Amino acid sequence: MNFAIVGCGFIAKKHATAIEKIDIAKLVAVCDKVPATMEYYKEEYDAEKYTELEQMLEKENIDIVCICTPSGFHTSIAVQIAEAKKHIIVEKPIAMTIEDTDKIIDACTTNNVKLSVVHPNRYRPVVQELRKILEQDLLGKISHASCIVNWNRNQEYYDQAPWRGTKQHGGGVLMNQAIHNLDLLLWFMGLPNQVFSMEATRFRNIDAEDVSVGAIKFGSGALGTVEASTTVYPKNYEESITIFGEKGTVKIGGTNALYFEHLDIIDMPDNEIKELKESIKANPWGTPGHQWIIEDMVSAINEDREPAVTGEDGKNALKLVLSFYESAKLNQPVIF
């Protein structure tokens, strides 16, 4: 299948690398308003270069387009691609508002094209194993969960691109970093009923928040906490999700949530726990998440099914971020 990439910034290289690793996939074109950013893809992959999306869609034989632009531009680009009858893989967050998200989803539905949102952390080996534990109900009834992202993004990071840290095009720590973890929290725990949040901009000279704390009441009745920041000195400190159940406690953690930091389950023998921990340590990253997402889209088209991470999944993660923002603004709980 023929791929194109729109937006040739940092994240686009992950898409290009993933496409190259898939036997039946080929990167045929790239599109960006800045011609110099496309040179790498011409030299490395022999991809045709376009500064105008409409021209690329008309001239090239494309099956799937990866949208890697700043988040605030996703909607208009996605609608144009959908109307050209091309399938879409869009980087997180799917959009910056629910209204814009619905425009993307509706355009894909109307034009009968598939839509997948890049939440690659779902494919980390430790995350996959925790999902299996929950699907097998090994933890029993869940009382609560904790989600933590305490990272460092210094001022130089935000100054690299004018959209970073802006409420219109990038968002703060919740929208741009922790949204991956919020997606996992929803994947593990289900949808919330209610959220409450407080946020601040403490250290970074940006428009959006650099630290946020929040609480969630899930539909199941379980509770959750979220702590996210880009203010940690001097480097990334912790990325973790902990789930507390009546029959077990599991924490995936480290600086990038790659390992079982705690795994204690009544119905899981000690030797099985040890083997599982060791197998994860032996290959913590596994196959890159972007490769999984792209391979899944190819399979979804061939099998005529929904992709594993759907537009609705992307919408739910965005809605949780926006609910936190609304709660912080109102200084009161909000209904999800």
Q: Which residues pair with 49 in a beta bridge?
A: 30
- 3-state DSSP assignment of residue 166: coil
Q: Per-residue pLDDT averaged across 111-132, rounded?
A: 98
Query: Taking the CB of residue 249, how many other CB atoms lie within 10 A of it?
Result: 14
pLDDT tens digits, 160-190: 999 999 999 889 999 999 999 999 999 999 9
Q: Which fold has domain 2-120+290-309?
A: Rossmann fold (3.40.50)
Verify cis geometry, omega within 30 degrees of 0, for the bond prior to 35.
no
What pLDDT does 13 receive? 98
Measured on CA atoms in the order 77, 81, 82, 83, is the torsion positive or negative?
Answer: positive
- Gap between the terminal Cα atoms of the chain: 39
C-alpha 186/C-alpha 54 separation (Å) is: 36
Q: Per-residue pLDDT averaged across 223-233, rounded?
A: 98
Query: Taking the CB of residue 277, how many other CB atoms lie within 10 A of it?
Result: 17
122-285+318-335 shares the fold of 2-120+290-309: no
For the chain, what is the mean pLDDT? Answer: 97
Rounded percentage of the chain residues whose pLDDT exceeds 70: 100
C-alpha 114/C-alpha 297 separation (Å) is: 8
The confidence band for 238, taking pLDDT boundaries of 50, 70 and 90, is: very high
What pLDDT does 284 receive? 98
Pairing relationship of beta strands 259-265 and 248-253 according to DSSP bridges: antiparallel
C-alpha 299/C-alpha 280 separation (Å) is: 26
CATH for 122-285+318-335 (1.10.3720.10, 1.10.510.10, 3.30.360.10, 3.40.50.720): 3.30.360.10
Q: Per-residue pLDDT averaged across 85-100, rounded?
A: 98
What pLDDT does 153 receive? 97
What pLDDT does 120 receive? 97
Q: How many CA atoms lie within 13 A of 133 on its CB side?
A: 32
Structural domain spans, the chain: 2-120+290-309, 122-285+318-335
Contact 179, 317 (CB under 8 A): yes
